[in-house]
């Protein structure tokens, strides 16, 4: 028995808030966490819709049933199976998506904010540092920075991006010891970042998001 692969075309869905036109001055690309769907995730960003902002929520390419009732569905960016292939496909997918968005709005002169929530944080980082896109703000909300993006080669690009780490004080998935290890890791890398902590758990809080966005 041996493993083989073929390349196939696959449709990928995403949701958006706002109109893709020449008046867009701010673009958000927001990546959901594990077992979530972009249809529901994007609703957390409605308060950012000001008429000149476009919000794009891509969905992970792998969907699956959640729980024993087989009623709820979630999506994932990757698992341990075929991990490197999934990472590559995610990057290709997001590159194609951003290229299409820029084509629709007719220009690239926007403030580009990339947000990754939970598992989406790692995908956001890998995409940003595997592409030529110019990102203004990278927001990692209850997410991690993969070590493979904290390389010497990437230091120059990290310095061009405003990095925001957002963590909930009641997030049971990120205990204090893990937060300390994470902050220590980025500090050793000498990464310039802004830390925002909020009184909440493992989710996006729209009011916290709006306050953060007002600082950009």
Instruction: Give residue-wise pLDDT tens across range 73-113.
Output: 999 999 999 999 999 999 999 999 999 999 999 999 999 99
- Domain membership flag for residue 13: no
- Domain membership flag for residue 10: no
- Domain membership flag for residue 191: yes
- Dihedral sign computed on CA atoms, order 102, 146, 120, 86: positive
Instruction: Give residue-wise pLDDT tens across range 113-155.
Output: 999 999 999 999 999 999 989 999 999 999 889 999 999 999 9
Structurally, how many domains does the chain consist of?
A: 1
Instruction: Give residue-wise pLDDT tens across range 169-196.
Output: 999 998 888 888 888 888 899 999 999 9
- Domain membership flag for residue 8: no
Could you tell me the two tokens for 46? Answer: 């409605």
- Domain membership flag for residue 177: yes
From CA 186, how far away is CA 181, in angstroms rounded?
Answer: 9
- Residue 45: CATH number of its domain: 3.40.50.1820
3-state secondary structure of 192: coil
Within 8 A by CB and 6+ apart from 5, the residues are 85
Instruction: Give residue-wise pLDDT tens across range 60-77.
Output: 999 989 988 888 999 999
Closest CA to 64 of 97, 34, 39: 34
- Domain membership flag for residue 59: yes
- What pTM was computed for the model? 0.95
- Domain membership flag for residue 114: yes
Rounded to 10 deg, the angle between the 119-128 and 83-105 helix axes is: 70
- Domain membership flag for residue 1: no
**53: domain range?**
18-65+72-213
Q: How many CB atoms lie within 10 A of CB 87?
A: 19
Instruction: Give residue-wise pLDDT tens across range 6-21.
Output: 888 889 999 999 999 9
Q: How many CB atoms lie within 10 A of CB 25?
A: 15
């Amino acid at each position: 028995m041996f493993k083989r692969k073929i390349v196939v075309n696959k449709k990928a869905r995403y949701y958006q808030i706002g109109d893709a036109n020449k008046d867009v001055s701010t673009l958000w690309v927001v990546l959901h966490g594990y077992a979530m769907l972009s249809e529901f995730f994007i609703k957390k960003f409605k308060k950012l819709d000001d008429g000149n902002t476009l919000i794009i929520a891509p969905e992970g390419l792998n969907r699956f049933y959640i729980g024993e009732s087989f009623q709820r569905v979630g999506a994932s960016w990757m698992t341990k199976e075929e991990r490197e292939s999934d990472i590559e496909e995610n990057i290709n997918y997001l590159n194609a998506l951003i290229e299409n968005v820029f084509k629709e709005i007719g220009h690239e002169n926007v403030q580009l904010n990339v947000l990754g929530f939970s598992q989406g944080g790692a995908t956001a980082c890998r995409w940003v540092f595997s592409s030529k896109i110019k990102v203004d703000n990278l927001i990692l909300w209850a997410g991690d920075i993969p070590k493979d993006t904290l390389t010497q080669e990437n230091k120059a690009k990290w310095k061009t991006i405003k990095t925001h780490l957002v963590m909930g004080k009641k997030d049971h998935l990120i205990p204090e010891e893990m937060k300390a290890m994470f902050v220590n890791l980025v500090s050793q890398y000498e990464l310039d970042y802004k830390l925002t902590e909020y009184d909440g758990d493992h989710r996006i809080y729209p009011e916290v998001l709006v306050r953060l966005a007002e600082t950009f």
